[in-house]
Structure formats: C-alpha cells, structure tokens
Chains A and B, each alone.
Chain A
C-alpha cells in the first residue's frame, strides 16, 4: 500500500471530486479503519456503521489533508473523532432518557462484546479507558508512530507516550500477558 499512490488518489479526489478514486482509497483502507473501530467499540455492527460515517466525513474534509503524514494516520484521526462524536451523542441520549425517568445502563464504558465471543484481546481492552484503548490500538494494531498518534489525537507526543505507558501498566497488573492465547 504505497503512500505515494494514496497521495495521488487524494489529489484526484480533491481536484476533480473523483468518486472512483475515493472508492479506491476506501478499498485500500477499509480493513484497518473497521478493525480500529471494532476494537474501540467491541461491536461489529456499530463499528461498521461508524466506519461508513468516518469515510463520509473523510470525503467532506479531504481537502484538509495536508499530505505531510500518512493517509491512514489522517483517516484514523477522522475515525477517532467520529467515534467520540457518536459516544457524546449516545451519552446525551442516555441523559435525556434518564431525565424522562427511563432507567439506563450507562456506566461510562462504550466497549461491549457478547459474553460468548470474548477473546483475550477483548478482556485486555476492557480494562482500558476509551483514550488508552484508542492510543494502544493505534500503536500496537495499526503500527502508527508516536508522532502520528499525536497528530491523530491532537495530544502532545509526551502525553501519548505516558498514555501508552499507563495502558501497559494496567494490562500488566490485570493480566499475565505472557500466558495469553491469540484471538
């Protein structure tokens, strides 16, 4: 997956609103974006809906991609923003329901998997906060550098490093990761 080719496709989309070129960009990166969102939400259907919204936002904002970093880094930034926006919306919705007197089961966690499908990774992700989870996934699953994560999350590089350190610490204290099973 060449970065140069990505940049050429982006240029075609921005200059001529080329939907075929955009389709090629989606084909190239859909797997990484969907995997990222699946790990953030823990739910396949929600993640895929968010991934669609993410690509729609990407289409609208593509002219803001400066071309300095990798395209996937920029795309994951859009995906993370889409995830946060959706979370805020559902939180507001839960608050409205609560005001109306309906009981809700919101404990601040957005990660939910079916009990029969829980993998080691799910258990591991469940102990992390949304922010830690996003940064750990960007680093260990998507292979982004600290600089790219910093750009994607609008956090200083130092903060990114300390969040990763904290996440690793939490995982270390909660699990003996050396005995993990792949899954």
Chain B
C-alpha cells in the first residue's frame, strides 16, 4: 500500500518536471556496429579464458619436467639403497598402492576430458 502511494506520488509531475524531461530527452543512438564490437570482444574473452588453463598447464609441465625427472631419478637411486625387507614391507602394508595411484591418475584425466567436452 505504502509503495503504491509512493509510486503514485512519483507519477504526479509538475510542469517543471515535464520541462526538465523535455530538456533531458535525447534522440536514440543508432547501433552502427556497436553491439557487434561488444559481442566480438566477449567471444575473444571467452576463447582466451578457455585457452588459458591448457596453455598454463602445458607451460607448467614443460618447466617442471626437468626438476621432476631429477626427483624421480633420485628416488629410484635411493630405493636401491634401502634394504629389500623394507620395500617388501611397504608393498605388504599397502598392497593396492599401485592400483590406487593409477586409478586416481585415470580419474583426474577423465574429469579433465569431460570438462573440455562440456565446454
């Protein structure tokens, strides 16, 4: 009820309000390719965003490849120093460790593939 009264009060305009409306009135501006330019900018932004993640992953992979390879080599050389009983004990404690790691990697790859398909 109160809002209706406020709206009615707003609609009651005096001569000065009407005069101001006529002064402020402006002719419509033709589109002249404005909307096409905006849509082009939006589409370019979308493409850049879609490309950003794979490109960043690729660059990160390339940068990380050498240090990662060094870490793997170091771990392999360290494991040869460990007593055989200790390695056997680890395998006994977590028998499905290899399967779990492989499964997790496959799951991540599947999720990434699904997301790119959705996009």
Instruction: Point out residues on A near B: beta carbons under 8 Å.
Output: 17, 19-20, 22-23, 26-27, 30-31, 34-35, 38-39, 48, 51-52, 55-56, 59, 120-121, 124, 136-137, 140-141, 145-147, 168, 171, 177-178, 180, 182
Indicate if B85 sits at the interface (CB-CB under 8 A): no
Q: A34, A137, A141: which contacts B29 (Cβ < 8 A)?
A: A34
Are A121 and B23 closer than 8 Å at their CB atoms?
yes
Closest Cβ–Cβ distance, residue B95 to chain A (whole Å):
46
In this complex, how many residues of chain B approach chain A with their Cβ under 8 Å: the count is 29
Q: A56-B45, A168-B16 are in contact. Are A26 and B39 (CB under 8 A)?
A: yes
Q: What's the Cα separation between A107 and B19 when bound, in Å?
A: 30
Q: Tell me how far the C-beta of A73 lies from the nearest C-beta in chain B, rounded to whole angstroms.
A: 14
Q: Which residues of A contact B84 (CB under 8 A)?
A: none
A26 touches B34 (CB 8 A): yes
Contacts of A48 in B (CB 8 A): 34
Q: Are A141 and B16 closer than 8 Å at their CB atoms?
A: no
Q: Which residues of B contact A34 (CB under 8 A)?
A: 29, 34
11 residue pairs A–B, Cβ–Cβ below 8 Å: A19-B39, A19-B43, A35-B29, A52-B34, A52-B37, A55-B38, A137-B24, A140-B17, A141-B21, A146-B10, A168-B20
Chain A residues with CB below 8 A from B28, complex form: 31, 35
Q: Is B35 an interface residue (CB 8 A)?
A: yes
Q: Which of A30, A136, A168 has the most CB atoms of chain B within a 10 A radius of its CB? A: A30
Q: Determine the main DSSP class of A at the interface with B.
A: helix
Q: Which of B1-54 contact A (CB under 8 A)?
A: 3, 6-7, 10, 16-17, 19-26, 28-31, 34-39, 41-43, 45-46
Using Cβ atoms and an 8 Å threshold, which residues of chain B touch A140?
17, 20-21, 23-24
Contacts A59-B45, A177-B16 supplied; 14 other A-B pairs, CB < 8 Å: A20-B39, A22-B42, A30-B34, A30-B38, A34-B34, A39-B24, A51-B34, A52-B41, A124-B23, A137-B24, A140-B21, A146-B6, A171-B20, A180-B19
Contacts of A39 in B (CB 8 A): 24, 26
* Cα distance A137–B20 in the bound complex, in angstroms: 10
A30: contacting residue among B3, B25, B26, B31, CB under 8 A = B31
Q: Distance in Å from the Cβ of B27 to the closest Cβ of chain A?
A: 9
Given contacts A145-B7, A168-B16, contact A136 B34 (CB under 8 A): no
A140 to B6, CA, bound (A): 17
Residue of A nearest to B19 (CB): A177
Contact status A27-B26, CB under 8 Å? no
* B22 and A182 within 8 A (CB): yes
A30–B35 Cα distance when bound, in Å, is 7
